[in-house]
Amino acid sequence: MPRNTQVIQHIRHKSSKLTLTFLDRECTFLLKGTSNYVMAIKRVSKMIDRVKKKYPRVSYIKVKAMGRAIPTAMCIALHFKSDRKVDILTGTVLVVDELHKSNDVIVQERKQSSVEVLIYV
């Protein structure tokens, strides 16, 4: 490694699940960029069945995705659109990056695109 280059360690912070209530956690599927499409379809289907039985007053479940997971969320929405009513909400989320450079810590904020798919039960 050349002498003048500095090693930068990039730490990404996960989104906080603490703000969700118990019912929100039961009715929300958080999609990651590495999530498999078929696995996500199966999990969402099971979630719909479970919500129907346990919480009859809940009218929809949410599939949330950011960045690289947005195309998968759109495919999930198209899959369930033939059987159920589906709404798609788009937006941006403020995310925090931590960069460690030598002994310095640099905190950067940036905007990340996000999608929320509402699949009605």
Domains annotated on the chain, with CATH: 19-91+113-120 (3.30.110.20)
Q: Residue 70: pLDDT above 80?
A: yes
Pairwise CA distance, residues 3 & 95, whole Å = 32
Q: Residue 96: pLDDT above 90?
A: no
| pLDDT tier, 3 (very low <50, low <70, confident <90, very high otherwise) | low
| pLDDT tier, 106 (very low <50, low <70, confident <90, very high otherwise) | confident
Using one digit for the tens of pLDDT, what is the confidence trace for 26-64? 899 999 999 999 999 999 999 999 999 999 999 999 999
Query: What is the pLDDT averaged over residues 90-97?
Result: 89
Structure tokens at 73: 């969320």
Q: Residue 6: pLDDT above 80?
A: no
Query: Which residues touch 109 (CB under 8 Å, ≥6 apart)?
Result: 94, 95, 96, 97
